[in-house]
Amino acid sequence: MALALALAVPPAVALGVAAARRPRLAALAVGTAGVIFTVPSLALFALLVGPLGLGTAPAVTALALYSVLPVLRNTVVGLHEVPPEAVEAARGMGMTEAQALWRVRLPLALPVVVGGIRVAAVTAVGVATVAALVAAGGLGDSIFAGLRADDTTEVLAATAVIAGLALTVDAGLALAERTLRRGR
Amino acid sequence: MIRWEEATKRYGAGPPALDGLSLEVPAGETCVLVGPSGGGKTTALKMVNRLVEPTSGRVLIDGADVAGADPVTLRRGIGYVIQQVGLFPHLDVAANVATVPRLLGWDRRRIGARVDELLDLVGLDAATYRHRRPDELSGGQRQRVGVARALAADPPILLMDEPFGAVDPVTRARLQDEFLRLQRALRRTVVLVTHDIDEALRLGDRLAVLAAGGRLEQYGTPAEVLGRPATDFVAGFVGAGRTLRRLDLLSAADALVAPGAGDGPSVDAAASLTEALSALLTSDAALVTVRRDGAPAGAVTLDSIRAALRRAPEGEAQPGLEHEGAADGDGEGGDR
């Protein structure tokens, strides 16, 4: 899951930066990512097992694909919300486009970007559970094993652990987001 | 020296935002671009640092066309105070002020010393405010930081777009006083945009009055604009109170007649005619004694004020700032 996020976040942010000033690219990219996001996870795994086989590869790929939309969309939105006078001040004082991006626009958009990562991470925890079906292992295995053996205790225990994991990840990133917002 | 030559800006097919502006601002002077919205004031200002490129015509700084300069280098050499201040909300006061010195690659010690010096210059205690964030400052304090940031790399030119627009009237007046004090000390070439004619008359060595459609209606000293509006537009824009405003620009010394009585109301020779007239109106006396260094030097009467107003448009009433400079040479803010 962490690997999937690590794979998805940099290109999604880069795409968001590129799209922030180009409305048509933004519409296209967010639209495409949105379509991927709406494909049910089971169907997406089924599609990916074809070319990638069973195991970790389709699982990580699916998680990465799901992560693109929230991160991309929040990057675009976050950059749009940067106060225009701060950007104008940056240009007017002689920052290059790259300096304005790294020193002003991205730092100001960061809390919103982290908000997107948070959504992506929580989604990923849920989807990773289903990844047991493509033999990627993980806690999902326990749920499916419990279901097959009609062992309610095992199902509930695994579910509780997964929910706990999702909540922990969410809380951690929420804290990061809040700290960043306070910092601005 | 800044010079616009037939500078025009068009957006699309409509009337131009700025229509053939030709104007020269001598080095060390404050030129105020004033007029209603849609007059192209901000457009003209932004042509100087190339945030706006003219459709035709050109802008020169010390004789060199800005179009030939690298925009990034050009901008680092020009102080810029924008509308709404535009402080970077994620950086503290010190980092905001240090923006241009950092871009220029100054070393850390030099930047630190310069930040403290600038905060002191704009009247903020460095130890208290250095590490505050913009959202922990009042509107007036933010404006001060904005000015300090613009001055950080000691630029010879300062562009100010509605710099005192976002604060209450009392703070605004105080910031204007501080601007006059700073400018007397620093003598930068300043181009300042405002829609407020009072602010323009107060701060400008010269005023450029721009009307909708980006036409220059008049360029002159405050006394010239008040005394001889070039067009009906300027007369209307300056407004009905223009005679009273002119009294602000004249001193009691400009309306001096035969020696005063010595008792009754009195004003200092450097006081404005507004003060002298107030003293006349609030007493029963027919004249106000004018004192120079405490000693009676003459008097002002209603007739002598009328005569001074009649004389002044011919150009002897120079910008009121000069009177003010003489009046408070020890650097205290003027109180006009």
Task: Give the ipTM.
Answer: 0.74
How large is the average pLDDT for residues B69-83? 92
Tens-place pLDDT, residues A125-157 = 777 777 766 666 666 777 777 777 777 777 787
Q: Which of residues A83 and A31 earns the better pLDDT score?
A: A83
Q: What per-residue confidence (pLDDT) applies to B325?
A: 35
Q: What per-residue confidence (pLDDT) applies to B260?
A: 62
Are B77 and B150 contacting, i.e. CB atoms less than 8 angstroms apart?
no
Residue with tokens 């503290």: B92
- Measured between beta carbons, the chain B residues lying within 8 angstroms of A103 are 88
Contact A90 B83 (CB under 8 A): no
User: What is the distance, to the nearest Å, from the Cα of residue A171 to the centroid of all Cα atoms in its chain?
Assistant: 15
Which stretch of A103-112, B87-96, B298-307 has the lowest confidence by average pLDDT? Answer: B298-307
Q: Is B203 helix (H, G, I), strand (E, B) or coil?
A: helix
Are B41 and B35 contacting, i.e. CB atoms less than 8 angstroms apart?
yes
Q: Which residue of B has its CA nearest to A179?
A: B90
Phi-psi region at B221: left, alpha or beta (left = phi > 0; alpha = psi -120 to 50): beta
Percent of chain B's residues with pLDDT above 90 = 49
Q: What per-residue confidence (pLDDT) applies to B107?
A: 93
Tokens representing residue A75 in the block: 């990057």
Tens-place pLDDT, residues A21-74 = 787 888 888 888 777 777 777 777 777 777 777 777 777 777 888 788 888 888
- A vs B: CB pairs below 8 A: 61
Q: What per-residue confidence (pLDDT) applies to A14?
A: 80
pLDDT band per the 50, 70, 90 thresholds, residue B216: very high
Among B72, B147, B162, B191, pick the best mutation site for testing chain A contact (most A Cβ within 10 A).
B72
Q: Is A137 helix (H, G, I), strand (E, B) or coil?
A: coil
Residues belonging to chain B with any Cβ–Cβ distance to chain A shorter than 8 Å: 49, 51, 71-77, 80, 82-90, 99-100, 103, 133, 149, 159
DSSP state for residue B82 in the 8-state scheme: B
Tens-place pLDDT, residues B112-145 = 999 999 999 888 999 999 999 998 998 889 999 9
Instruction: Confirm or reject contact between A91 and chain B (CB < 8 A).
Output: yes
Q: What per-residue confidence (pLDDT) applies to B262?
A: 62
Are B276 and B254 contacting, i.e. CB atoms less than 8 angstroms apart?
no
Instruction: Confirm or reject contact between A108 and chain B (CB < 8 A).
Output: yes
What residues have CB less than 8 Å from A76, skipping those under 6 apart? A16, A19, A20, A26, A30
Residue with tokens 């002003």: A104
Q: How high does pLDDT run on average in chain A?
A: 80
d(CA B261, CA B279): 15
Which stretch of B39-48, B143-152, B288-297 has the lowest confidence by average pLDDT? Answer: B288-297
Residue with tokens 């010595």: B262
Are B46 and B27 contacting, i.e. CB atoms less than 8 angstroms apart?
no
Q: What per-residue confidence (pLDDT) applies to B31?
A: 96
Q: What per-residue confidence (pLDDT) applies to A183?
A: 55
Q: What per-residue confidence (pLDDT) applies to B265?
A: 84
Which stretch of A76-90, A148-162, B120-134, B310-324 has the lowest confidence by average pLDDT? Answer: B310-324
Sign of CA dihedral B153, B157, B159, B163: positive
Nearest to B19 by CA among B34, B4, B31, B32: B4
Q: Which residue of B has its CA nearest to A180?
A: B90
Tens-place pLDDT, residues B24-73 = 999 999 999 999 888 899 999 999 999 999 999 999 999 999 999 999 99
Distance from CA of A88 to the nearest CA of B (A): 8
In this complex, the residue of A83, A85, A94 whose CB is nearest that of residue B72 is A94
Q: What per-residue confidence (pLDDT) applies to A133?
A: 66
Distance from CA of B173 to the nearest CA of A (A): 24
Among A93, A99, A182, A184, pick the best mutation site for testing chain B contact (most B Cβ within 10 A).
A93
d(CA A168, CA B263): 85
How large is the average pLDDT for residues A109-114? 88
Are B2 and B189 contacting, i.e. CB atoms less than 8 angstroms apart?
yes
d(CA B18, CA B15): 9
Tens-place pLDDT, residues B181-204 = 999 999 999 999 999 888 999 999
Nearest to A120 by CA among A175, A67, A170: A67
d(CA A15, CA A17): 5
Q: Say what the pTM is.
A: 0.77
Contact A92 B51 (CB under 8 A): yes
